[in-house]
Amino acid sequence: MFMSISSRFAVGIHILSLIEFNKDGVSSSEYLAGSVNTNPALIRRILGMLKKAGLIEVRPGIAGSKLARSLSDITLLDVYKAVDVVQDNELFSVHDNPNPKCIVGKNIQDTIIPILSTAQLALEKVLGNVTIEDVVKDIVEKEERHS
Instruction: State the residues that interact with its own copies by CB under 8 A.
Output: 1-7, 9-11, 13-14, 17-18, 21, 34-38, 76, 84-87, 90-95, 97-99, 102-108, 110-112, 115-116, 118-120, 122-127, 130, 135, 138-139, 142-143
- Cβ atoms of residues 30 and 39 within 8 Å: no
Closer to DNA by Cβ: residue 69 or 133: 69
The span from the CA of 9 to the CA of 97, in Å, is 32
Shortest Cβ 105–DNA spacing (Å): 13
C-alpha angle with apex 140: 76 to 77, nearest 5 degrees? Answer: 0
| CA 89 from centre of chain | 16
The span from the CA of 64 to the CA of 59, in Å, is 8
Task: Say how many Å lie between the first and final Cα of the chain, rounded.
Answer: 38
Q: Mask 53-82, x = binds DNA (CB under 7 A)?
A: -----xxxxxxxx-----------------
Task: Give the footprint of DNA on this chain (CB under 7 A).
Answer: 1-3, 6-8, 28-30, 38-42, 44-45, 47-48, 51, 58-65, 85, 93, 95
